[in-house]
Each structure stands twice: as structure tokens, then as C-alpha cells.
Amino acid sequence: MSFSATNQLRNTCQFPLQPVTTQMAKKRDRRVAPSSNRGKDRVESSDQSSDPKLTITLVLSFCVAAAAAVLAYRIKYAHPITNRAQSYVHQRGLVKIDVNYQEILTENAKVSENTSGRHYKYPVLAYITPWNSKGYDMAKRFNSKFTHLSPVWYDLKSQGTGLILEGRHNADMGWISELRMAGDVWVLPRVVLEAFPAELLTKKKQRSKAITLLVNECKEMGYDGIVLESWSRWAAYRILHDPSMRNLALQFIKELGDALHAVSLERNDKQRLQLVYVIGPPHSEKLQEHDFGPKDLRSLGDAVDGFSLMMYDFSGPQNPGPNAPLKWIHSTLQLLLGTDKNSALAHKIFLGINFYGNDFALSGGPGGGAVTGRDYLSLLEKHGPVMRWEKKSAEHLFFYSDDEYNNHAVFYPSLMSISMRLEEAHKWGCGVSIWEIGQGLDYFFDLL
């Protein structure tokens, strides 16, 4: 590992509050796109020409705390969820810091026979993407673990002077029928609002048309509501810097929520269509003009049933590091909610938890990409790496070298990291949202 690469990752481990947030929705979609050929680029063995002692020394110098500190940390967090029935993976002693790659390979597919039992008492929303079909199977297999499922199916776009809702061809009604026969989970497809915001928000007819399209799609297809993503796109168009445009944006969301709430579900006339709204974390400790902040949260509190808070993508190829440092999660929740844990608004937050990871190149030029569960297990099997626990982020990682002698750092969620994030959400009284369940390992679901 080069000195510059070592410094790069060491600096990242200090976690300045500066997540990678540009074009968030598109970045997350790219993470799981079928065009990935990562498996073809993997190597069969680690770099044998580098000095392993030097590499280990450098790694230990910035990513492993002193033995005493690690031991104390393990004692404190070995079983973070203590006030609820222990999950199967807790009972088997798998939720721990000192995990090794052999254990992950051996145990990841073993899950409790009781897949209907829930350990997390607040709502759990899970995203599913059509290009990662495992998610559909996981949704059926662990149906009772979730309260909301959001298949990523729709885009609302400008077409000439009008609007068009694209994505119905993605809808799998047979899958929805199977879900409903097996349980009571709500199905709320995600809709990305790609229509030109200046046109949409300033013209009453366009706003009404957009709302009509979305409500009618729910009624015609028998959905339970929608998950709407628009804030990141509005920020990219810089309309949120203008107070009048920002007010129009908030008003549109309120009008949409009211319109959805006015419609009873066909299968349960006591329930109304729901609106979950996607929000990103602030870009820094001080709120920027385009950030979704506590005032916005309070403004939409009555019109929105839940807020899907995207607490991932903290690091990127230009700044490799953890996916979602725990301190960053805590500070973001505190910024949005203040110190009022278990408030009515806290209950509406779905804290984002990533089931994907990242493989960052530390030498040979910056680079990196998404790691799904299948990629991750393949890397473990090929390289047999030493698993590291990064205390500041509360994430596991490992290093390997490819056949061109480039060093890589792989951050991927573990039972321990997920358990600690569930506990953080539980302390606030928040639900959780998972991006996305087709990318995780099977035994992750035992924690839910």
C-alpha cells in the first residue's frame, strides 16, 4: 500500500461531516445496475510480491484500536439490543467485532426457521430493484419482517408541455398477490420525480396533473401508496435556494399527501393511501440552503406518513472510507430532531441502512464501485482476508491486492454494524429503510 493511499484512508477515518451526496438517487441506482462486470475483474489470489508485514503494520496503524480499547468496545456493544428478544444470529454468537471471513462464508446463508418473527418493533421499509431479482425473493421469504416494501418502478417525467408516468411495465402484480396472501405488508412503489421542477411547481395545471397521475396509478394498480423521491433533483436544479420556489415545493408535497390520504384502500376501507418522502442527510454540520432540515420536516409532518432518510454513501472513490459512520448517523438525527427522542416526528423517520458495500482502489488511481452480497462472498473466498473493525465508523472492512498490485479497501455491512444501527434507530424511536434487500446476506434478515 502506498504512503499516499494509506494517508488517504487514514484521513477518511477521521470522518469530517462531508458525505458524498451529488445526484444521490442516480448513484444508488448505479450501485445495483446489471451492467456491473465486477465479478469478471476479480483476481484469484492476493498480491504475493508486496511485503505483508508492512501492509499489516500500516493497516493496524490507522484502522485498529489498541487491544484494550477494542476489548472494552466489544464488551459494551457485543449485544446492543438487550431489551428485546434476541435474534437467532445473536443466540449463535455471530454478532461481534472479531468476526473472520471463514465464519461469514459458513454462516451467512443459515437463518432462523421462524422467518415470521420480528425483533425490530418500529416500521421497516425495504427497497427492491427490478435489476436485482434476489430482492423479490427476499421480500417473499421474509415478508413478516417488513411493514413497507418499495419496488423501484416509476419515473414521472416531462413530455413536451405535459407529463408522463413511466414504469408500469416493471410492475409485478403476481409478486404483489403472493406478498398479500402471506402477510399484511404495504406495497408503495418508488416514484422519482424527474419532471422539470420550474414547470411542475409554478404551473397549477401541471401540479394537479402530476397528483392525478400518481393517485390514479395507485387506485388502478391496487398499491398502498407511493414513496416519492424529488428533493435531490430539486436541489440539483437549485430551486430550493429560492424561498418562493421552496414553498411551492413543500406545498406540492402537502397537496400530494392530502390527495393520497383522501383515498381508501380497496382491500381495507379503513386505511388510506400513504406517502413516504425520500430525504437526504445534510451535507455538513451547518445546514446549507438546499438541505432538507428540521423546518421542512415539521412543515410536512402532517401530510407525510414517513420520511426515508438516506444515511449511506458517506464516502466515494475520491474519498474512500466507510459507508455510513455511526457518529454521522447520530449527528444527522440530532440535527433533524433535536434532542426530542421518541417524538411524533421521530416515529416518522425511516433511518436508511445500506445492505450494499463498496470496493475502493487505494492505489493505481482512485476508483471503486458497489459490492453486493454475491461480490462480497466471492472476494472473501478468493482472498481470505483479515477482517478489521473500524471503531470510529463502527464498520467492518478488509484489504486485498489485485493481480496488478493495486491495493483495495472493501467496506461491507456486517451483523455487528447493522445491529448497532438498528439500536441507534431504536433509541430515537425511528423506523428503518433498507437500500436494498437484494444486495444483503441472508442472515442480515434475522436482525429485523
Collapsed DSSP state (helix, strand, coil) of residue 160: coil
Encode 126-147: b = buried (16+ Cβ within 10 Å), e = exposed: bbbbbebebbbebbbbbbbbbb
Q: Does pLDDT of 42 surpass 80?
A: no
The type of residue at 34 is: P
Q: Would the pLDDT of 281 be above 80?
A: yes
* pLDDT value for 282: 83
Quote helix, strand, coil % in the chain, to nearest 5. Answer: 40, 20, 40
Above 70 in pLDDT, residue 344? yes
Domains of the chain: 115-356+414-447 (3.20.20.80)
| pLDDT above 90 as % of the chain | 72
Residue 287: pLDDT band by 50, 70, 90 thresholds?
confident
pLDDT score for 15: 42
The model's pTM: 0.84
pLDDT tens per residue across span 418-430? 999 999 999 999 9
The predicted pLDDT at position 74 comes to 33
For the chain, what percent of residues have pLDDT higher than 70?
80
- Model confidence pLDDT, tens digit, residues 149-194: 999 999 999 999 899 999 999 999 999 999 999 989 999 999 999 9
Confidence class for position 144, pLDDT limits 50, 70, 90 = very high
Q: How confident is the model at residue 341 (pLDDT cuts 50, 70, 90)?
A: low
Within 10 A of 245 (CB to CB), how many other CB atoms are there?
A: 18
